[in-house]
Amino acid sequence: MARSIWMNGTLVDPNDAKVSVFDHGLLYGDGCFEGIRVYGGHVFKLQAHVERMQASARRIHLEPPYSDSELAAAIEETVQANRIEDGYVRVVYTRGKGSLGLSPFSCTEPACIIIADTITLYPEEMYTQGMPVVIAQRPRIPIECLDPQIKSLNYLNNILAKVEAIDAGVHEAIMLNTQGKVAECTGDNIFLVKDGEIITPDTAAGMLHGITRQFVMEEVAPACGYTVTEREVERDELFTADEIFLTGTAAEVIGVSSIDGTPIGSGVVGPITRQLTEQFRGMVTSLSASPVEQ
């Protein structure tokens, strides 16, 4: 089915969803985006995603073209127009049409694009058998160079690390920061389990403060009787972990079976990861059935 795209206040056919070749989003990756899940026709953690989107825009000195409530309503409208029950929403702000120069202030009007569709990020069997990953040679851009809380349209750092994963025949790569500490993956946050303790790198490592990561830390793990420790994580700790799992809007919760060919734990999805995955799926299902907007 052809999807309707929401562009600057209007739902249009995908063939009519166009941006100018002079748009700074295209020319310079100048803009920001959000990825959001839909469960049972309800947009998951909508307010949190809207707030992060607006904050990303303001961090790059792009005044959001819509208020929080207007953007939330536009997202809901797009989901309903496309009859998405279980799927994914991509919200994009571009700086808009400008000159060929770098200055963002030549762009007079930002653009907003909303796409709602279905998504499958990883093969389903990996959720039961585990996913092999590698450690990328390319480090994460330092915080001092680019605030990782900006969900920028320029994902080249992540893309080049993703290419390393693809070249190695796997779906994902772990990225270290320039000090060699564990930061995140190309599109997911990372957790490890050691002696029953769940650990994740703190945001000082230089990674996106993921909304699914936060949901797992604040709601899913406590529901299973666990707390999560945020701290600096060394590369070598990954190889001695009992379990490793990743979280992300599209990925949800997925266990890691090996890193660089070295099995993690028993080499399959561990019991705590399985418990968290089941709890996560149960909670998002119950939340989507609730009349309260998430």
Nearest to 258 by CA among 68, 155, 129: 129
Task: Count the neighbouring beta carbons within 10 Å of the beta carbon of residue 123.
Answer: 10
Under DSSP, is residue 286 helix (H, G, I), strand (E, B) or coil?
helix
Dihedral sign for Cα atoms in the order 214, 218, 223, 226: positive
Task: Count the neighbouring beta carbons within 10 Å of the beta carbon of residue 288.
Answer: 18
Under DSSP, is residue 61 helix (H, G, I), strand (E, B) or coil?
coil
Q: Is 151 a catalytic residue?
A: yes
Greatest alpha-carbon span in the chain: 56
In this structure, the chain runs to a length of 294
Phi, psi of 95 (to 5 degrees): -65, -25
CA 187 – CA 72 distance, rounded (Å)? 24
Query: Which entry of 18, 45, 97, 151 is annotated as an active-site residue?
Result: 151
Query: How big, in percent rounded to 5, are the helix, strand and coil portions of the chain?
Result: 35, 30, 40
Catalytic residue numbers read 151
